[in-house]
Amino acid sequence: MMLRHKWQVMIAAALLLALAGCRQPTQNRELSTYDDLFASGSWTTQELSYWRQEIDLDRSMPDYSHLGAYPMGNGQVFALTGLRVPLGVIEDVLGPTYQKTQGLLGSYLLSVMVDGEPVLLPHQSTAWVAPGGVVHTRWENRGGLRVDILDTVPVEVNAVVRLVVVSNRGREDIRDLALAQTSSLPRAERVDDDLLVTRGTTRVRFGFAGTRAQIIRKRVVPEPPEELPKRLQPLGAMTGGLGKVQAVRCRLGRLKSGQSVGKIAYIAVSDDEASERASLENIERQGFALVESGHQYWQKRIEGTTQVRGVPQEIAQFLTISKYLCQVQQAQAGGFSPMHKYSYRWIRDSNGPIKYLLDVGDFEAVARDLDYHFRVCAEKGEIGNNVQLNATPGAVPETDWSEVPSPKAEIASFVILQNYWYFRHTGETQQLEERWGYLRRCLEGQAVDEEGRLPFHGDETYRFPGYQLFDGREDITDYVYLHLRSADSAFEYVAAAEAMAEMAEALDKGDEAREFRQAARRVRRVTERYYWQRERGYYAPAMSDLSGERYRYPFANINLRPLWIGYGKPSEQRQVDNVLNSLAHLYRPKTGTARTTPACGYYVGMTPGYLLSNLAAIDHPEAAQALEGLLGAAEPSGGFAEMNTPDDLPSKEVWGLHRVRPWEGGINASAVLQYLTGFEPDAPARTLRLAPHLPTGCADMTVSNLRVGEARLELRVNVKGKTVSYAVKCQEAEEPLTIELLASAQGESLRATEGNYREHGGYTRSARARFGRAHLVVTNVKLEAGEELEVTVEASGYVPLQRLEVAEEPFDYAKVNLPSGGALLLTWNRQVVDEVRREVEGPVRVMDTRIAWPAEYLRSALLTKGGRPLYEKLLLDTTGFPGAFKRAEFWTEGAGGEVLREFEQAGGRVEKARVTGAGKAPSRELIN
């Protein structure tokens, strides 16, 4: 109450000043003290302690991979901190819209000055004030000088509002103390006591509220240690000279021992002077109260979502901050977007926030995003990969969706699935009727070939990290090439077609439902026939449309897709085999993470989520280690980078440097909640399936506010030895819900020892035990509001938990399976194949150079074990395109050249394949 009273007094004082005239000069020392703001029990002291970072520049230098980004935003202004030294630099600023129209708006350094010189305080930290929305940065030195900064972007103003508290904990007074702000943007203009920088039409004005500030030109950037990486220096190129810059200075004068003083700094973003003036007046009027307002907004919003208690705090805090990281990257108009150096509403990137926010019950945020994407696409007359974030679509125009351009694969399926996930969580159908033509076009517009196969879409998840590493001269040899037929696109197409059938039935569109199911069956049959590798026990991620060759290496984000996307079910042995056999070449048991391919240890940020989701779905004991791996792969802030290194750290050398991404973070957080609860709602059918797991070291867990349509439920799990007790309470519901609970525990069998499931129409049935875990299904339980299912199960018999088997030998690509005799053609181009077969007598066999096969595979095609040639000649089409993830030197001094020389020495001929229609010149690859 003391803190609130103090703020009320200050607000009243500020209001009197405002009535007398905006920005009247005041004394620079009258505001709140450290003890007021950080009193015991205050919200300002409630940090997410497991997701903080701390550095000590007296001991060692941080690097980019070990720092985390802490974002703030209100849907119009976005910024983050934590990635530069000193910690607390505000960067990645966008506004007054999340759409990047003028580029990023620079970095903003707050510095503390003593005797006219900037001071670098070596001990620094960044942490979330729970539950997010306010970031606490602290600087300290051994002499007792401390600076605490609380940063937020309140809903009420388009500005970063910074509460800065300077404290003297030393024995001596500090004379001539000051604060200063400066920007990395050049050509700052003085406006009153502030500085204004512009980029295009966007205005960024920064200064201090309620104080007499000065505009100075001198050195305000503290000199960083020589060992500090350039990427971490506070204002980039500006820092290099450490010379004089234009800055706003707020003098604090003498600070006695034991005293502290607080100030409000701000970075206001606008498109015109009127809105800028409104923000500044609001900041002057409310002052510190805006910081509390920022906290209260996010506190209220997150309290309305699913809550998990009893689990280790690292997990509970991770789930909380993941909600915020998804929500804060939603633009005011509705679109989700990755915001660290990005912008736009991307179809694929929206999977994470949509999936996770639906799981935790923030239906309203997801509804805004889906409606926004639909309306912008309708207005543009195109279903593109991305749409801008600042559109203002009106009424939906009459649209012939059958003529609208749409994506050829993958992301078109995700448009359908995003709407389907919303349908399954909420049970709503009104929006489906309005969007039906748009959704139907997303399926019908896909490029299904005459065989029933689909291409890759051609963008990440796949370009990162392999393409960037290869372009950076890294030795990437087994990455999937995108100009092939894609198993992944097929998995998504089938899931989307089946989703369309289910939604069509909900809309009484029976004929269309049958049509969609037929399309799904066709592509599923082809997918199982072409991509399933019976001899290896997992799906080939891609195949050639020229030669029929399969890309044989497992690829994490493709082989872990079928269960995650709903193409397959964990009860199907083939799906279990696909997970285990592909992970045998990808999984790293020591870290609980997975490589992208057998040779590529780098991975995109959502791979840990796919891994955990799959292992949780099949109830493999290794899921507990994968949970630890997922948490360990996060940034210190709890977010996830676009790309991680083989050391499970955010990348710092190649493309993929972007942080706190809602796509990756949402998928990963959804996987953690899936592991804890097995939450699978079907709101249209008013059913819910649960399959809980307790993390290692946890004996009791409560998950409340699980939403299924309008209903809300609570799940409790308690473990004592071999006994597990479950309770599912229906807290709110308009109609009864049918519950299915999968109980599991280590042992040979599981039986119910207590329970009231029969009272609610339920019964139990045994389920298959595997991996050392026994299962019992409690099903058909019907609960009304206020009713509760209680059941206790007990495991009997000892069975050791199985570890995930990892291949000890290097990956064996195995031999070519082609008839011998005649000529062998190496090409990527169907035109070359057709021309060569017309001109060359005798049989011509084809190997597709878009498949990233190794040199040993080529040798097995050309030569017997004893070295005898299997073909008369080899026709090479490698001049324009050396092959997938192969450089030109592969065919000269590299491993491919060695095979060619061996073939020639054995009596074979090597010739270049030429196309008559192209002037006898070697063909060249065309990259779309």
Query: Pick from 883, 882, 871, 881: which is nearest to 910 by CA?
Result: 871
Query: Which single residue is written with the structure tokens 């240890």?
Result: 601
Instruction: Write the CA distances from 107 to 117, 184, 264, 290, 439, integer angstroms.
Output: 21, 5, 18, 22, 41
Query: Pick from 701, 651, 741: which is nearest to 466 by CA?
Result: 651
User: What pLDDT is attached to residue 32?
Assistant: 60
Which residues, 6 or more positions from 716, have their beta carbon under 8 angstroms from its beta carbon?
Answer: 700, 701, 702, 703, 725, 726, 727, 728, 729
The one-letter amino acid at 916? T
Residue-wise burial string across 678-688, b where 16 or more C-beta atoms lie within 10 A, e elsewhere: bbbbbbbebbb
pLDDT in tens, 387-437: 999 999 999 999 999 999 999 999 999 999 999 999 999 999 999 999 999
User: What pLDDT is attached to residue 915?
Assistant: 67
**String of DSSP letters for 80-98:** EESSSSSTT-BEEEE-SSS
The one-letter amino acid at 734? E
pTM score, whole prediction: 0.95
Residue 372 contacts residue 426 (beta carbons within 8 Å):
no
Residue 543 main-chain phi, psi, to 5 deg: -150, 160
pLDDT in tens, 598-653: 999 999 999 999 999 999 999 999 999 999 999 999 999 999 999 999 999 999 98
- What the block records as the tokens of 506 is 């909900």
Give me the residues paired with residue 714 across strands. 729
What is the pairing mode between strands 844-848 and 823-827?
A: parallel
Instruction: Write the CA distances from 859 to 8, 535, 791, integer angstroms.
Output: 81, 21, 62
Where does residue 614 fall: left (phi above 0), alpha (psi -120 to 50 degrees), or beta otherwise? alpha
| DSSP structural state of residue 385 | S
Residue 216 contacts residue 116 (beta carbons within 8 Å):
no
Which residues, 6 or more positions from 142, have their beta carbon under 8 angstroms from its beta carbon?
Answer: none
Query: Which single residue is written with the structure tokens 């003498």?
Result: 254
The one-letter amino acid at 623? A
Give the span between the Cα atoms of 781 and 764, in whole angstroms.
Answer: 10
In which element (H, E) is residue 139 found?
A: strand 134-140
User: How many other C-beta atoms can be found within 10 angstroms of the C-beta atom of residue 32?
Assistant: 21
N- to C-terminal Cα separation, the chain:
63
Query: Which single residue is written with the structure tokens 């709101």?
Result: 683
Give the span between the Cα atoms of 461 and 351, in whole angstroms.
Answer: 12
Cis peptide before 598 (omega within 30 of 0): no
Ranges under pLDDT 70 in the chain: 1-32, 237-242, 460-461, 915-928
Give the span between the Cα atoms of 718 and 601, in whole angstroms.
Answer: 38
The one-letter amino acid at 330? Q
- What the block records as the tokens of 685 is 């059918």
Give the span between the Cα atoms of 267 and 401, in whole angstroms.
Answer: 44
Q: According to DSSP H, which parts of 507-621 are helical?
A: 510-531, 556-559, 561-565, 573-583, 607-617
Residue 121 contacts residue 55 (beta carbons within 8 Å):
no
Give the span between the Cα atoms of 5 and 819, in whole angstroms.
Answer: 87
Residue 334 contacts residue 75 (beta carbons within 8 Å):
no
Which residues, 6 or more positions from 862, have their beta carbon under 8 angstroms from its beta carbon?
Answer: 824, 869, 870, 871, 874, 899, 902, 903, 908
- What the block records as the tokens of 220 is 């305000």
Query: Which single residue is written with the structure tokens 């000065």?
Result: 214
Query: Which single residue is written with the structure tokens 């299924």?
Result: 708
Give the 3-state secondary structure of residue 207.
Answer: strand
User: What pLDDT is attached to residue 4?
Assistant: 35
Give the span between the Cα atoms of 539 and 678, in whole angstroms.
Answer: 25
| DSSP structural state of residue 396 | P
User: How many other C-beta atoms can be found within 10 angstroms of the C-beta atom of residue 558?
Assistant: 27
Instruction: Write the CA distances from 566 to 105, 490, 569, 596, integer angstroms.
Output: 41, 12, 7, 21
Four-CA torsion 376, 380, 385, 386, nearest 10 degrees: -50
What is the pairing mode between strands 773-783 and 763-770?
A: antiparallel
User: What pLDDT is attached to residue 36?
Assistant: 83
- What the block records as the tokens of 412 is 């078109």
Query: Which single residue is written with the structure tokens 């290869």?
Result: 470
Give the span between the Cα atoms of 418 and 421, in whole angstroms.
Answer: 5
User: What pLDDT is attached to residue 809?
Assistant: 93
| DSSP structural state of residue 182 | E
Q: What HEC string does 467-526 produce?
A: HHHHHCCCCCCCCCCCCCEEHHHHHHHHHHHHHHHHHHHHCCCHHHHHHHHHHHHHHHHH
User: What pLDDT is attached to residue 927?
Assistant: 33
Give the span between the Cα atoms of 623 and 618, in whole angstroms.
Answer: 9
Cis peptide before 312 (omega within 30 of 0): no
Give the span between the Cα atoms of 234 and 483, in whole angstroms.
Answer: 42
The one-letter amino acid at 572? E
Give me the residues paired with residue 689 across strands. 680, 740
